[in-house]
């Protein structure tokens, strides 16, 4: 199914829900619409280098950085810091030792590292946001500049304008009764839970997932509502969602894939966001 057909179908479904709600004034609409972004070639290319190909120690280093960043942003108490609680869940799913998790939380609370967000352009004019956590900003800047230059990218002011920070709740397409969640059902659940958008993607293990996108302040509310509606939540976090997309040729896509792989291998890099479709 093409993206255009999918969007049209979603809009029709939304109008049907709107008319139903108008006939029942006691109910309210929480989302303006939910459009589905189907999985594509890029989603498969960007996940070629997944956790299965990543050394265990490197994976734990990245998770440690994510814990430190979450602590830096919201404090060391996971009960009051939903982002930290989510990262801890990811650590446990990857069998990271409890002692390592606790050490990362303690270290994150005391760490003098700086959080940086670099804006860049990749091959084909794609926009990139690179999250950095470092104790040496000059070293990190030089290393990221070297990697960008080596793979056809560059620092570029304004890339940030191609993204918007949103809450993202990721769920499995399998509900608790092990029945696949259709796109039509996901649309209905998005409206009921207060999400703004739904995207269908393929994760690094080749499994289909649904991403419910919402306003930052409503992240916890949307996650809890989706759980009550029977969806199994994989994660809930704040992410940069592209508002302007870029299409690449196969050659540009290959070069960009190599660039992202190099950036993610950099120890100071926490996450990299792109606006490629």
Q: What is the CATH number of domain 3-42+163-242?
A: 3.30.70.980
Locate CATH 1.10.10.200 in the chain. Answer: 53-110
pLDDT of residue 94: 78
**How far, in Å, CA of 187 to CA of 162, rounded?**
25
pLDDT of residue 65: 85
pLDDT of residue 113: 78
Locate CATH 3.30.70.980 in the chain. Answer: 3-42+163-242, 116-160+244-274
> What does the pLDDT profile of the chain (277 residues) look like in tens digits?
434 433 444 443 443 443 333 344 433 333 434 444 444 556 656 654 544 545 578 788 888 888 988 888 888 999 888 888 888 988 887 789 999 999 999 876 666 778 899 999 999 999 999 999 888 999 999 999 999 999 999 999 999 999 999 999 998 876 555 577 887 888 899 999 999 999 888 876 777 889 999 999 998 899 999 999 888 888 888 899 999 999 999 999 999 999 999 998 898 898 899 999 8
CA distances from 217 to 224, 237, 238, 260 (A): 13, 11, 10, 30
Is the Cβ–Cβ distance between 246 and 126 less than 8 Å? yes
Domain 53-110 has CATH 1.10.10.200: yes
**How far, in Å, CA of 250 to CA of 253, rounded?**
5
**How far, in Å, CA of 70 to CA of 89, rounded?**
13
pLDDT of residue 198: 92
- 116-160+244-274: what fold? Alpha-Beta Plaits (3.30.70)
pLDDT of residue 23: 43
pLDDT of residue 233: 83
User: Nearest 5 degrees, angle CA 207-CA 211-CA 216?
Assistant: 150
pLDDT of residue 202: 80
**How far, in Å, CA of 41 to CA of 76, rounded?**
39
Model confidence, pTM: 0.73
pLDDT of residue 32: 39
């Amino acid at each position: 199914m093409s993206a255009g057909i999918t969007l049209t179908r979603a809009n029709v479904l939304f109008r049907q829900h709107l008319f139903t709600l108008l006939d029942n004034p006691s109910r309210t609409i929480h989302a303006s619409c939910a459009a589905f972004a189907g999985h594509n070639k890029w989603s498969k290319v960007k996940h070629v280098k997944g956790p299965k190909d990543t050394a265990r120690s490197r994976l734990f280093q990245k998770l440690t950085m994510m814990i430190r960043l979450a602590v830096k942003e919201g404090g060391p108490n996971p009960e009051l810091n939903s982002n930290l609680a989510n990262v801890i869940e990811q650590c446990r799913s990857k069998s990271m030792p409890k002692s390592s998790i606790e050490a990362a939380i303690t270290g994150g609370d005391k760490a003098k590292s700086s959080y940086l967000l670099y804006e860049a352009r990749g091959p084909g004019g794609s926009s990139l946001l690179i999250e950095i956590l470092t104790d040496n900003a000059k070293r990190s800047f030089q290393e990221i500049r070297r990697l960008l230059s080596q793979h056809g990218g560059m620092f570029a002011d304004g890339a940030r304008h191609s993204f918007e920070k949103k809450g993202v709740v990721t769920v499995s397409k399998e509900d608790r009764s092990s029945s696949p969640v259709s796109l039509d059902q996901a649309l209905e659940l998005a409206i009921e839970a207060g999400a703004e958008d739904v995207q269908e993607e393929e994760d690094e293990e080749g499994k289909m997932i649904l991403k419910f996108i919402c306003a930052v302040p409503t992240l916890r509310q949307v996650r809890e509502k989706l759980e009550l509606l029977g969806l199994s939540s994989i994660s809930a976090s704040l992410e940069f969602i592209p508002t302007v997309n870029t299409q690449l040729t196969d050659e540009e896509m290959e070069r960009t894939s190599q660039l992202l792989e190099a950036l993610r291998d950099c120890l100071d890099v926490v996450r990299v966001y792109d606006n490629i479709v």
